[in-house]
Amino acid sequence: MEHWNSTLGSGFILMGILKDTESPELLCAIITILYMLALTSNGLLLLVITMDTRLHVPMYLLLGQLSLMDLLFTSVVTPKALVDFLRSENTISFGGCALQMFLALTLGGAEDLLLAFMAYDRYVAICHPLNYMVLMSTRVCWLMVATSWVLASLSAFVYTMYTMHYPFCKARMIRHLLCEIPPLLKLACADTSRYELMVYVMGVTFLMPPLVAILVSYTLILFTVLHMPSNEGRQKALVTCSSHLTVVGMFYGAATFMYVLPSSLHSPKQDNIISVFYTIVTPALNPLIYSLRNKEVMGALRRVMGKYMLRTHPTF
C-alpha cells in the first residue's frame, strides 16, 4: 500500500457512528439533544458553583472542574461530528487530528485523576471530618486540580507526538468518531506492535492507581458510614458517594474498554458506540447525577434563579 505525505496539508476522513448506522438522521437528532443537555447542565452547574458562596468549598470546587472537563470534552468532538454529517464532509486535517487527539487525551486523563481526588475528598469529609479543612484546604484543592491538568497534558503531548510521527497509508479512513490512538494506529504503514504494548501498559498504569485509590477510599467510607449513629447522616453520605460511584463506573468502564482491552477484542462498531458513550452521553449525565440528588446544589440553583428573577423582574 502506498504512503501518503502526513504533513499539515494532508488529512484523514472520520467515518464515525453517524456513517455506520441505519438511521443516521435519528441518531444525529439524539446526539444533538444530548450535546445541548451537556452544555446546559454543565454550564448551569458551573454557574451555580461560581455564584453561590455556600458552594465555595473543596467538594464543589472539584465538582466544578469535573463539569468544565465534561463541557470541553464533549465540545472537542460533538460539534465537528454534527457539522460534518450535515455538510456530508468528514475530512479532518493532519494538524486538526493531532489537536483533537491531544485535547481528548488531556481531558480524559485529567478527569481520571480528578475522580480519584474527589474520592479522597469524600474520604476525608466522612472519615476525618474534624481535620477536613486542614487536609482539604483551598491550597491543597487547587494543587489537586493543577496536578490533574498538568500530568494529563504532559501525558497527552507525548502520546500525540509519538502517534502522529508514524507514516500513514493512503487509506485515510478512520472508522471512529474522533482521532484516537487505537483506530489511528490501524492506518500506520509501520510496525506498531511495541507502541501498542506501551499504550496498553501505560493505560493500565494511568488508570489503575486512581481506580484502586477510589475503591480503597469508598471501602473505608462504607465502614465509617455503617457505624454512624445518625440515620440522616448515613443517608446523606450514601447519596453523595453513590452519585460519585455512578460517574466513576461510567468513566472507567469506557476507558478500560478503549485503552486496556487488547486490540484483538475491538471492532470499529463497538469502539464507535463506546466513544459516543464517553464523549457525549457521560458528559450529559454527570451533572444530572450529581445535582438532582444533591439538596445543596438544588438549593443553590433556586437561590441563583431567584436572584436572577428579582433582577430582571423587580415587581415579580
Banded pLDDT at 33 (limits 50, 70, 90): very high
What is the predicted pLDDT for the residue at 247? Answer: 83
Burial class, 178, CB count within 10 angstroms (exposed 0-12 / middle 13-18 / buried 19+): buried
The residue ranking higher by pLDDT, 249 or 262, is 249
Q: Is the pLDDT of residue 10 over 70?
A: no
What is the predicted pLDDT for the residue at 253? Answer: 83
Separation of alpha carbons 245 and 313, rounded Å: 40
What is the predicted pLDDT for the residue at 101? Answer: 94
Banded pLDDT at 308 (limits 50, 70, 90): low
Q: Is the pLDDT of residue 279 over 70?
A: yes
pTM flag (> 0.95): no
**What domains are there in the chain, each with its CATH number?**
23-308 (1.20.1070.10)
Which residue bears the cell 463541557?
Answer: 71
The region that residue 198 occupies, defined by phi over 0 for left and psi between -120 and 50 for alpha, beta otherwise, is alpha
CA angle in degrees (0–180, nearest 5) for 1-168-183: 110
Q: Is the pLDDT of residue 259 over 80?
A: no
Q: What percent of the chain has pLDDT over 90?
A: 29
From residue 132, alpha-carbon distances to 80, 216, 294 in Å are 43, 18, 20
- Residues 200-247 pLDDT 10s: 888 888 888 898 999 999 889 888 887 777 777 677 677 777 777 888
CB 141 within 8 A of CB 49: no
What is the predicted pLDDT for the residue at 72? Answer: 95
- Residues 113-132 pLDDT 10s: 999 999 999 899 888 989 99
- Residues 68-107 pLDDT 10s: 999 999 999 999 988 888 888 888 888 999 999 999 999 9
Q: Is the pLDDT of residue 143 over 60?
A: yes
Q: Is the pLDDT of residue 3 over 70?
A: no
Q: Please report how many Cα atoms fall inside a 13 Å half-sphere around the Cα of residue 64, on the Cβ side.
A: 18
What is the predicted pLDDT for the residue at 263? Answer: 65
What is the predicted pLDDT for the residue at 188? Answer: 85
- Residue-by-residue DSSP string for 132-157: HHHHT-HHHHHHHHHHHHHHHHHHHH
Beta bridge partners of 91: 13
CB 38 within 8 A of CB 74: yes
Q: Is the pLDDT of residue 158 over 90?
A: yes
Banded pLDDT at 312 (limits 50, 70, 90): low
What is the predicted pLDDT for the residue at 265? Answer: 67
Mean residue pLDDT of the chain comes to 83
Q: Secondary structure of the chain: what % helix, strand, coil (to 5)?
A: 80, 5, 20
- Residues 159-172 pLDDT 10s: 999 999 888 876 68
What distance lies between CA 115 and its chain's CA centroid?
10
Buried/exposed 43-68: b ≥16 CB within 10 Å, e otherwise: ebbbbbbeebeebebbbbbbbbbbbb
Three-state SS for 9-31 is CCEEEECCHHHCCCCHHHHHHHH
What is the predicted pLDDT for the residue at 307? Answer: 67
Q: Is the pLDDT of residue 52 over 50?
A: yes
